[in-house]
Amino acid sequence: MGKSIFEKILMEHLVEGKPEPGEEVSIKIDQTLTQDATGTMAFLEFEAIGIPRIKTELSVSYVDHNMLQIDYLNPDDHLYLQTAAAKYGAYFSRPGNGICHQVHLERFAAPGKTLLGADSHTPTAGGVGSLAIGAGGMEIAAAMAGAPYTFKYPKLVKVELKGKLREWVSAKDIALEMLKRLTVKGGVGKAFEFVGEGIKYLSVPERATITNMMVESGATTSIFPSDDITKMWLRAQGREEQWIPILPDQDAHYDEEMEIDLGQLEPLVAMPHSPDNVKPVSEVEGLDVAQVAIGSCTNSSLRDMKLVANALKGKKISKNTSLLINPGSRQVVLNLIESGEFKYLIEAGARILENACGPCIGMGGAPPSGSFSVRTYNRNFKGRSGTEDAGVILASPETAVATAIFGRLTDPRKLGKMPEVRLPEKFIIDDSMIIPPLPPDKASEVTVRRGPNIKPLPKFDPLPKTIEGEVLIKLSDNVTTDDILPAGANVLPLRSNIEKISKFIFHRIDPAFHDRAKEKGGGIIVGGENYGQGSSREHAAIVPRYLGIRAVLAKSFARIHRSNLINFGVVPLTFKNTTDYQAIEKGDRVKIEFGTLEKEELNAIILEKGKMIPLIHDLSEREREIVLAGGLLPWIRTRFS
């Protein structure tokens, strides 16, 4: 039987395990990626492991999240990351160089390579034929130390793209169509492989938009073939020697199959407050829109910026709408300046932000209260924009620019003839903002700079055989890591200080949670379906552990958050009977006997009610060892130091 693209790359990197859905496999990691919101903790964790130098082929530390420098916190973190990269052997992409996924796609991602990133949108690199997976920072630290990455082998889903997109319909609309079909949990435990005649009409940046956005379905990863279009992209980036062809065999086996007729798609949007609340623009257009934001790691490529610039040529944005643009990289900006298209953005009235994540993570660019903001980003969770009562609508660059011109949500087909977009045969390449690793003899002389906000990791004690505690909070379905621990300008700078950032846990849902957890000496969290969806931020697991929480009970867990809980010694438990979710309430005092987790089924005893609720842990033997040890760091320290 033939092999899929995913299987071909995985088998070349397989260290151990059985490549069958649901089975645990371990693979060698070629490249790692961190950004400054996750990177400070990942490098602190790497230092705690005790390895003197990074062991991957290539590791890159990006600065793109915590860019506002209103005090010393973010600059100190950036200096720590730069000196740590120099000492331990990583590339360092300086502030202003660009968004990690866009820059990595341009300068580092390569067909056939495995990439593990401390950011949920790492699968963006699947647009160039890389097997790229998002994970928590602790797992990236372990990979940098030379450990393989272990995960559950996903079901493989073949997505056949037929036909060709019509004018004003784009790759973002393909991704939104997928989310409409799958929902935000329909991709959990799956890897999506895009094939078919339709892919030959999609450039690498367009493919990357799709693999980036598929993360919102809960997918493990997504990938496109490495074909002539990939080769053309790498040639334009001066990296043609890195190209290898990777196509699925004709008789490749897939667990599931999907089909999308591109010619039948129309412009789509995701309405507030979920990426799967997808509607045709034609059905919901006409809403007054106070703000449009174009960029983020989903839609900040040169292709997207050229489309927007040319759609704005000779026009002005609506006087009632603010247009924010955050290009993906310096390369994008330099090429727009060279072609003369950058001035179209300025002349139209756009506000040009830094080449960074910016408003996507609530780092500036908050919309007015009670307004709608149309964004080309990948998430529209309530409050993520920085304005609690704003409604964020996710859209393609085409729909976003039409909305900016008319001042209300608008079907882009009303703009008339779509401008033709051609990528250059040779991009302007300037890597002066990427600092390469020092040789080992020079690296040993580097002193890592630590500002006063950078604190050591908390200690992680082994799991007790029994816990007894109060249910501190009970949550509904699809709670995100933004809900657990928000992003934003007042929270992100505290990522390297667990004590300070812990005060923001569940801040939007239950501001008293932190004080209650401290007063009670820990306790238990109860969640619904898909608990912990969204960002890979491991702080959503570290902080509960720091506050004394050793178990989370839920109907089901999002993949990365489940791993993060395990990595910090918190047991993820699911209800054997989901109806038992109704039987447990906030304030109940619960006792759970873990023992050594030798049994898959455990019981939660609600002491005052005398009720017993059966729970399931689906920990592998490796995961069981990690949890019992108190987390991945104490478990791995003895194996890779």
Catalytic residues: 64-65, 119, 379, 535, 537
Q: Tell me the residue length of the chain.
A: 641
CA-CA-CA-CA torsion sign (68, 73, 79, 82): negative
Residue at 127: amino acid letter? G
323 phi/psi in degrees, rounded to 5:
-110, 115
Among 397, 415, 282, residue whose Cα is nearest residue 350 = 397
Distance from first CA to last CA of the chain, Å, rounded?
41
DSSP letter (8 states) at residue 6: H
Residues 44-63 as b or e (16 or more Cβ within 10 Å = b): bbbbbbebeebebebbbbbb
- Which token pair is 161? 């793209």
DSSP state of 187: T
The maximal CA–CA distance of the chain, rounded, in angstroms, is: 73
Q: Which residues of 495-533 are buried (b: 16+ CB within 10 A; e: fewer)?
A: bbbbeebbebbbbeebeebbebbeebebbbbbbbbbbbb
Are 344 and 262 contacting, i.e. CB atoms less than 8 angstroms apart? no
Per the listing, tokens 């906030």 go with 586
DSSP-derived secondary structure for 343-373 = HHHHHHTPEE--SS-GGGGTSS-PPPTT-EE
Report the chain's C-alpha Rg in angstroms.
24
Q: What are phi and psi of 156, to 5 degrees?
A: -95, 125
The residue among 594, 562, 617, 630 whose CA lies nearest residue 150 is 562
Smallest Cα–Cα separation from 87: which of 435, 476, 433, 504? Answer: 435
Q: Are 165 and 144 in contact (CB under 8 A)?
A: no
Element (H, E) at 482: helix 481-484
Helix H or strand E segment including 102: helix 100-107
Token readout for 548 is 């004394």
Q: Are 176 and 80 in contact, with CB atoms under 8 Å apart?
A: no
User: 374 φ, ψ to 5°?
Assistant: -95, 125
Are residues 224 and 198 in contact, defined by beta-carbon separation less than 8 angstroms?
no
Q: Parallel, antiparallel, or unpaired: how do β-strands 523-526 and 466-474 relate?
A: parallel
Classified as helix, coil or strand, 20 is coil
Q: Which residue has the tokens 């729909």?
A: 399
